[in-house]
Structure 1
Amino acid sequence: MNDVYLSIGTNMGDRLENLQHAVELLKNKEEVKVVSISSIYETAAVGYTDQADFLNIAVHINTSYSSSEMLKVCQWIESELGRVREFRWGPRIIDLDILLYNHENIETDSLIVPHPRMYERAFVLVPLIEITPAPVGKQLQRAHDIIQQMDCEEEGVTLWQASAGLKITQSVN
């Protein structure tokens, strides 16, 4: 089985429902076992900032899929949920990124792992660190080291809903 970490984000429509739906589509894949899901974090947009805030989570899965097959699954989920790529860093109904795939360094025309901007983004690192309290491997150790030096409040990352284990539940406001 392959050990994979994903980042999932959304800033359009019912953001919680988008995250729930993406996780359910992952869980429904026979070749995917969802191991853990982080809390939900609300974050300010990066790059193009004239848009709504994002909800972000990290998901740890085990899968028999190769990295390229897992990329296709992520793209299929985005398509199923209606993702349209209008411009870079623009608003999106859902975004799934492969952060880590085992302890591998992968570079193809369609996939780079570790994710090329992962270590620069608190909105990726905060949920990832939450589900990897005891880092295994150089990539996760680097993520832990970097997040200790970041000011997450200054980076615009706030807890939106505490972890619900393997299930995302409706928040009570």
Structure 2
Amino acid sequence: MSRTVIAYVGLGSNLDEPEEQVERAFAGLDGIDGARLVAVSPLYRSAPMGPAGQPDYINAVAALETTLEPEALLDALQAIEQHHQRVRTIRWGPRTLDLDLLLYDDATIATEHLSVPHPGLPERAFVLYPLADIAPGLHLPDGTPLMQLLRRCPPEGLERLDSAR
């Protein structure tokens, strides 16, 4: 029997009705075999990190209970991206859906295809604030409290959206 862990997934979209893309992605996450959606953050609007001239992003974070191994979970996330017609052409360019495995239990993972905790997590307000909404007492695998990261990363340019959820 596989062990159940909590994994946190960052969601982002800035193309083709981004709010709806993220909302549909929540349902896709809940449909992964071997995983169950246990929490979703409110949606946030943020300025793009990448090339200029692209629309703002809609971001959120979801928590999954899963028995999947990290690489299998990553494969499932990428399948959801493909279902949303994700095209990988420009680094940090516009996209219909981006799903990032932020944290996988208390694991530190460094493989050719996967880095957990996600390398950008400590300085990305659009990830930290939604993550804090659903897991305020969280500590990273190295013991760093999430709240400590929030104090170092102001929410400049981040707008929490009202949600019907």
- Length-normalised TM-score, structure 1: 0.88
Shift of 1:101: 0.3
**Alignment correspondent of 2:161:** 160
In structure 1, the gaps of 5 or more residues are 165-173
The answer to whether the aligner puts 1:62 opposite 2:93 as a matched pair is no
Deviations 1:12-37 (A, max 9, x none): 01112101211111112231111100
RMSD between superposed Cα atoms in Å: 1.6
Matching of residues 13-92 of structure 1 within 5 Å = 13-92=16-95
Shift of 1:87: 0.8
**Hey, which bits of structure 1, 4+ residues long, moved more than 3 A?**
136-142
Preserved contact between residue 39 and residue 163 of structure 1 (Cα < 8 Å) = no
Shift of the 50–143 alpha-carbon distance from structure 1 to 2, 3 Å rule, reads farther
2:159 is aligned with what amino acid?
T
Matching of residues 141-156 of structure 1 within 5 Å = 141-152=144-155, 154=156, 156=157
1:12 to 4, 15, 37: 15
**Alignment correspondent of 1:121:** 124
**Alignment correspondent of 1:132:** 135
In structure 2, the gaps of 5 or more residues are none
Structure with higher RCO (Cα < 8 A, 6+ apart) = 1
Query: How far apart, in 2, do the equivalents of 1:148 and 1:49 lie?
Result: 27
Shift of the 158–60 alpha-carbon distance from structure 1 to 2, 3 Å rule, reads same
Deviations 1:77-124 (A, max 9, x none): 000110001110000000000000010100000000000111111011
Count of residue pairs brought into register by the alignment: 162
Query: How far apart, in 1, do the equivalents of 2:65 and 2:143 lie?
Result: 16
Query: How far apart, in 2, do the equivalents of 1:24 and 1:7 lie?
Result: 14
Preserved contact between residue 40 and residue 163 of structure 1 (Cα < 8 Å) = no
Query: How far apart, in 2, do the equivalents of 1:47 and 1:128 lie?
Result: 21
Query: How far apart, in 2, do the equivalents of 1:145 and 1:58 lie?
Result: 18
* SS in structure 1 of the partner of residue 21 of structure 2: helix
Query: How far apart, in 2, do the equivalents of 1:90 and 1:51 lie?
Result: 8
